[in-house]
Amino acid sequence: MVTAQRSAILCVDDEPIILITLKQELRKRFGDEYQYETALNAKEALEVVDELANTGINVILILSDWLMPGLKGDEFLILIHAKYPEIRSILITGHVDETAVRRVKNEAGTYAVFSKPWDAKQLMDAVQICCNRG
C-alpha cells in the first residue's frame, strides 16, 4: 500500500476488536489525514515505531492499553518517550492502577487516561489536541 501520509497514529492493545474499533473511530474522525497502525503488544509496537521512523514516517501519537502481556502500557510508553520524546500518548485501560497513571503522566508525558469503555467523542477530541500540539 502506497500512502502519501508522513504522520501515523499507532494503536496498541492485546484485544484485536479494540484495535479495529479504535481504527474505525480514528478513520471516521480524521479520514486519510493520518496513517493508522496497530500492534498487539508493546514489543510489536516498539518494532512498528522503529520501522516507521526508519522509513521517514513520523508516529505522532500512540493510543495504548495498560494491561497487556509482557510490558504493561505505562512501562511501554515510558520507554517510547525516552527514545522518541516527540511522540504523544494516551493510555486506555479497563483496569485503573493509580500508581501507573501517575507514573505514565509524569515519566512519559501522557496526555490523558481513558477507561474502557471510552467515550468516543472525548477520546477523539483528545486525539485531535495531541495531533495539533506543536
Residue 41 sits in a domain whose CATH number is 3.40.50.2300
Look at residue 82 and tell me if it is in a domain.
yes
pLDDT per position as a tens digit, 72-82: 999 999 999 99
Look at residue 102 and tell me if it is in a domain.
yes
Residue of higher predicted confidence among 2 and 124: 124
Look at residue 98 and tell me if it is in a domain.
yes
Look at residue 35 and tell me if it is in a domain.
yes
pLDDT per position as a tens digit, 83-121: 999 999 999 999 878 999 999 999 999 999 999 999 999
Domain extent at residue 105: 7-132
What pLDDT is recorded for position 133? Answer: 60
The residue type found at 24 is Q
Q: What is the 3-state secondary structure (H, E, C) of 3-33?
A: CCCCEEEEEECCCHHHHHHHHHHHHHHHCCC
Cα separation of 78 and 1, whole Å? 31
Helix boundaries (H) for the chain:
16-30, 42-54, 73-83, 98-108, 120-132
pLDDT per position as a tens digit, 113-122: 999 999 999 9
pLDDT per position as a tens digit, 11-34: 999 999 999 999 999 999 999 999
Q: How many domains in the chain? A: 1
Work out the average pLDDT over 51-67: 96
Look at residue 110 and tell me if it is in a domain.
yes
Look at residue 2 and tell me if it is in a domain.
no
Cα separation of 69 and 66, whole Å? 10
